Structure 1
Amino acid sequence: MKVAQVLHMNGGIGETSYANNSILQKKVLSLTKEMRDEAIKNLCCITFPKRLGIADLGCSSGPNTLFVISEVIKLVEKLCKEQNHESPEYQVFLNDLPGNDFNNIFKSLDKFKEKLNDEFEGGNGPACFFNGVPSSFYGRIFPTKSLHFIHSSYSLQWLSQVPKGVENNKGNIYMANTSPENVLKAYYEQFQRDFSLFLKCRAEELVERGRMVLTILGRKSDHKYSKECCYIWELLAVALNEMVLEGIIMEEQMDTFNIPQYTPSPSEVRLEVLREGSFTIDCLEVTTVHWNAYDDFNDVDFESDDLSKPFIDGAYNVTNCMRAVAEPLLVSHFGEAIIEEVFGRYLEILVDRMSKEQTEFINVSISMTKKV
């Protein structure tokens, strides 16, 4: 699997598109607002450049794509006004892999600018210049010292490739408690290589004392196969294995499919930052969000005659969210014919498990400053 060519979220605006199934990611962005704001305030304490370079890495496509950019611009403008500084020009870079739906982003820019201008007196907002950057962030993608602030959310858990040497991960599609030790080691070492390279490249692209805020889907546990991070994929593997037993999918296909992802612990993230050496850590925190970001089940009426409905609705939301993320990977390996069947089975499995267990995603967020 050539990840850079295959990995992308479902494009368009259909029922299973990422644009219509990214409220979970929006919720995570709201959880990290304070960290982002603090990074921007600290940046503006040092400098108010005439041109402020901002990059969002793994921007995807949909309502979240320009959300952080909007927040950053409005906060900088507020700080400029308070400190009697002239507003900078904003050079915004939106990065994702080439398969991303950049056309949808570009179509939304005029509306975004109009909405942003409406936020300011007289409808006269700041000058913003947008650039699409279709490329892997596991390499240099911006000129030296051209950026002041880099943001990435729910992207760095994706690896540059499926780790080598995981051919014996039979019956699994990711790390699991039945995965051999060499598979867990291969995944971790691939994460180390990728994240270290990412940090090195960003350090070259940021100005001195530039800021970077990253949120990575992760885990709290020291166990790499922890249920906190692997369960959502294990349940998809259950659906696929059912189809293998029924002859719908060939066993060889199943045994050669592995997800190119690693969900690190806070200590693993910290270790790589310290080891690479280009950044100081300002803040490192862990947050959680329910699998079903639409409803954390606090409003479930346990006296209802139809107690199953909230869990069916929740599982449907989670299924669509996962489909928006995983469908391109599955299609590239198994073909399009199995998609409806596998996600139909996945939905049934999720209804059962979510009605019996507490299910949460773990988020590892880190704010850093480039060293002088």
Structure 2
Amino acid sequence: MEVQRVLRMNGGDGETSYANNSTVQERAISKAKTIVEDSAVALYCTTLAKSLGIADMGCSSGANTLLVVSEIIDAIDRKCRHLGCPSPEFRVFLNDLPGNDFNTIFKSLPGFYEKLKRDKGPDFGPCFIAGMPGSFYGRVFPTNSLDFVHSSYSVHWLSQVPPELQKGMGGLLNKGNIYMAKTSHPAVFKAYLEQFERDFFLFLRSRSEEMTYAGRLVITLMGRRSLDPSSGECCYIWELMAQSLMDMVSQGIIEEAKVDSFNLPHYTPSIQELIAVIETEGSFHLDRSEIIEINWDPTNDDDNMLDKFTSGWNVAKIMRAVSESMLASHFGEAIMDDLYKRYGEKVAEHLSMEKTKHINLIISLSKKF
């Protein structure tokens, strides 16, 4: 799988688009808001810079993209007003893979700028926003050009499927699964962890070279509490997808070899694994970390109990928005409606027995002087 070519969130604003099915990500941004704002204000108070370079790595598209930008700008602007000094110039860079729906973002910018002008007044800013396509597993920006970097729900996507999964056991190491699972060979967990360690190390090293001396970095990603990488809290949502695919194999809709040869470029680390890479890379202090939980179906909370089929379909649409491009490139677009229908039914049955939550890790880092 060529990840840079096939990994993208569903574009546009249709029924299966990421823009209309990113409530889990919006909840994560909301829960991380205080940490992001505190880190951004601490950065400004350290430098009192007249111009700030801000990057959102893995920005995707839709309302969440500019929501994060707004929160960072608002926090710094409030601090400037409190200090009685003019707000800095904001240079904002939105980064994602080239297949991202940047056009939808750019079309929303005139309205965003107009709202800033209306809300902040004539003395604000100015603010300049640009797209920067490319993989964040490597350099994207010039040296010492960024002051604040944010990334939400992106770093758990790997740069590639671990190449070791194509070795051993007849050339396919993870037969019948598409991710880490209870039935996976121990070498599968090792391969995924090592790929994540390589990728996250490169992410941190690249950002450290791009950031100024006082730079700050806040990352939110899917992870796990458990030290067990096969824990259901991080893997079961994908096991249900594998079961849906294997049902289609049993009915002759797709070939079993197709399932055996597909693995997700994804890893959900523990906080201990994150910290180990941060310490090994060595460019950043870990200032703060939190673990938060979000329902698989974020609309189904204690105040808004939905029937299992509604919740199952909600989860299926959320997962389709982030995974369809990869699955369609391997299995073909023709089966996608059928696949996600089956998947939604399996999720519904699971949620009727257990209200399951995503585990999310939030870390705030500062660059070492």
Which range is displaced more, 130-139 or 288-297? 288-297
1:84 Cα deviation from its structure 2 partner = 2.2
Once the two structures are superposed, the pairs formed by residues 158-307 of structure 1 within 5 Å of their partners are: 158-166=157-165, 167-300=172-305
Give TM-score, length-normalised by structure 1.
0.96
Q: 2:352 aligns with which of 339, 351, 355?
A: 355
Ranges in structure 2 where 5+ consecutive residues have no aligned partner? 166-171
- Pick closer, same or farther for the CA change 1:272–1:215 going to 2, 3 Å: same
Check if 1:35 corresponds to 2:4.
no
Check if 1:88 corresponds to 2:113.
no
The separation in 1 between residues aligned to 2:82 and 2:100, in whole angstroms, is 38
The AA in structure 2 aligned to 1:315 is: G
The separation in 1 between residues aligned to 2:144 and 2:85, in whole angstroms, is 22
Asked if the contact 1:48–1:85 (Cα under 8 Å) also holds between the matched residues in 2, the reply is: no
1:310 Cα deviation from its structure 2 partner = 2.2
1:351 Cα deviation from its structure 2 partner = 1.0
1:40 Cα deviation from its structure 2 partner = 1.4
1:117 Cα deviation from its structure 2 partner = 1.8
1:297 Cα deviation from its structure 2 partner = 4.2
1:67 matched residue in structure 2: 67
Asked if the contact 2:59–2:65 (Cα under 8 Å) also holds between the matched residues in 1, the reply is: yes
The separation in 1 between residues aligned to 2:26 and 2:116, in whole angstroms, is 19
Asked if the contact 1:59–1:65 (Cα under 8 Å) also holds between the matched residues in 2, the reply is: yes
Give TM-score, length-normalised by structure 2.
0.97
Structure 1 residues 172-199: Cα deviation after superposition (integer angstroms, max 9, x where no partner)? 0000010001111000000000000000
Asked if the contact 1:174–1:230 (Cα under 8 Å) also holds between the matched residues in 2, the reply is: yes
The separation in 1 between residues aligned to 2:6 and 2:82, in whole angstroms, is 46
Once the two structures are superposed, the pairs formed by residues 150-165 of structure 1 within 5 Å of their partners are: 150-165=149-164
Measured on the aligned residues, the alpha-carbon RMSD in Å equals: 1.1
Ranges in structure 1 where 5+ consecutive residues have no aligned partner? 301-308
1:306 matched residue in structure 2: none
Count residues with an aligned counterpart: 363
The separation in 2 between residues aligned to 1:331 and 1:17, in whole angstroms, is 15
1:333 matched residue in structure 2: 330
The separation in 1 between residues aligned to 2:160 and 2:76, in whole angstroms, is 37
Check if 1:318 corresponds to 2:315.
yes
- The percentage of counterpart residues that share the same residue type is 51
The separation in 2 between residues aligned to 1:144 and 1:237, in whole angstroms, is 43
The separation in 2 between residues aligned to 1:257 and 1:118, in whole angstroms, is 50
2:112 matched residue in structure 1: 112
Asked if the contact 1:119–1:125 (Cα under 8 Å) also holds between the matched residues in 2, the reply is: no
1:313 Cα deviation from its structure 2 partner = 1.4
The separation in 2 between residues aligned to 1:261 and 1:29, in whole angstroms, is 20
The separation in 2 between residues aligned to 1:68 and 1:325, in whole angstroms, is 19
Asked if the contact 2:86–2:124 (Cα under 8 Å) also holds between the matched residues in 1, the reply is: no
The AA in structure 2 aligned to 1:100 is: N
Asked if the contact 1:58–1:152 (Cα under 8 Å) also holds between the matched residues in 2, the reply is: yes
Say which SS state the counterpart of residue 214 (structure 1) adopts: strand
Say which SS state the counterpart of residue 63 (structure 2) adopts: coil
Asked if the contact 1:14–1:20 (Cα under 8 Å) also holds between the matched residues in 2, the reply is: yes
The separation in 1 between residues aligned to 2:340 and 2:146, in whole angstroms, is 41
The separation in 2 between residues aligned to 1:42 and 1:65, in whole angstroms, is 22
